[in-house]
Amino acid sequence: MTLTLKCFPALDELEETDFGSKEEDKTECDELPRSLEVENIDIFFAIFSIVSYVLDFITDTALAISLIISGNNLQGALILFFAIVPQCIINVISLHWIYEDGDKVDVGLQRRINAQDSRKKSNKCPCAAFPNEGVISTIFRFFFQAGPLWWYTKYIRNALLVRSAKDAKSRKAHFIRMVEAERDAAMLRFLEAMLESLPQLLIQFTLFSYNIWDKWSTREFRVNYSFLISSSVSLLSISWSFAAQHRSSRMANPNKINVHPIEMLLIVIWRFFTVLSRTILLILGFMYFRLYFFIFVVIHVLISAYHIVSMQWSHFGPGLQSVKYSLVCLTAVIHLFFPFNLSDGGTFHRYFTAYSIEFLEGGLIFFVILRNYTFTFPFKIEYVSISSGTFLIGIFLMIFYYVKVHPNRRRAQRAMVKEQDNDEDPKQLEGGRENAAIDNEPATKSTAN
């Protein structure tokens, strides 16, 4: 997965564009695909993103309220804090993007509306991306934390308009809006996973593990399924955000083939198992080493930073050095939990290196924990077994994805088939010409006679 920038022509530029010319799609970043099509699975992915986003927030909030009602005020307040504050940050970012798109993208649309009715004045708010949206709807979205949902709604709306468009110009204009909305939604979904779902997964799983440890000796332990349900939804949200962002980076790039549903499913399952394995490792390591475990965290972040600079720095585009170093630091922290590809290039080799580091770290930590019999956590063997098993399953699925079903494999197969179709056997071609000469010889003689 890579971070991509929006670089499509504004709609006012499309007003003067000849949609049949070869220079219409030339931009500095990604270009439009050659076929502007929207399938049912594209709309389904957007609906699933909406449902998983809402379900993640609801389960976290419900768990926090249930803990507060049961008397665990500190635990409930901690979960509620990481459910609300990240949402506020994400919605502020969403409003900022809406403001930018309202200024840049819809200039052409506003000009067409004004041309149709010069006496009609639009009540367009400067912080709305559609000309008829006002302040009330914008405040409503922010108050109900519905910024990402608005982007997905915009994506679905323009996807349907692409299907119903009767001319190429309208189809292309709506397709550009659809892709921009999908990219913003995917990026907000990824930020939500990093700021809200990931902390919730760590906090809830840690609280669940400590509750087991505290109450196991007194035989008062009861499984709190609310923890398991909420953490599972958070884990699914993290995995889906990776797959959605990966698909978004390929959706509007003519140099890349888009991700099929089965490939999306493999990415989600691969991420689900590897993130689960890493989460168990981090929690078990923290329970054993306590505050000394942060030494391991610092060492891993430094190793990840070196790994990113050595394998991805040359693929970074032009830009400020401070921005590049900031991205490296941010990605190094993310690598504490899972590998994250920051730029184009050999993704498989980068992931394989990062997962190899995780394998060595996990083996060392688990060896130390299992060798120390004073560590009395009752399910340490089960935790180690689950973490090791899910890690191996995730790595197997990752290798299977890159070796067998990666979109580039489909491109290579198509190119091979096309080459075989265009490559004729010279001997057969020569034989065909000789037969044609023999067939035409009698006709030539008869004509001469």
Query: Would you list the DSSP string of 339-360?
Result: ----SSS-HHHHHHHHHHHHHH
* Residue % of the chain over a pLDDT of 90: 26
pLDDT in tens, 2-51: 444 444 444 434 433 333 333 433 433 445 566 677 888 888 888 999 99
pLDDT in tens, 199-208: 999 999 999 9
DSSP 3-state assignment of 53?
Answer: helix
Rounded distance between C-alpha atoms, residue 351 and residue 338, angstroms: 9
Q: With contact defined as beta carbons under 8 Å apart, do 25 and 168 qualify?
A: no
- Continuous segment of H or E residues that includes residue 265: helix 261-289
Contacts of 415 (CB under 8 A, 6+ apart): none
Rounded distance between C-alpha atoms, residue 225 and residue 223, angstroms: 6
* Amino acid identity for residue 372 in this structure: N
pLDDT at residue 1 is higher than 50: no
pLDDT at residue 246 is higher than 50: yes
Q: List the single range of 218-222, 229-233, 426-430 with lowest mean pLDDT.
A: 426-430
Q: What is the model's pTM?
A: 0.76
Count CB-CB contacts under 10 A for residue 217: 10
Least Cα distance to 200 among 20, 70, 79 occurs for 79
Which tokens sit at 91?
Answer: 């919605």
Task: Compute CA distances 39 → 162, 185, 186, whole Å.
Answer: 10, 18, 18
Cα angle 352, 267, 235 (rounded to 5 degrees) comes to: 100
Least Cα distance to 212 among 278, 284, 113, 137 occurs for 284
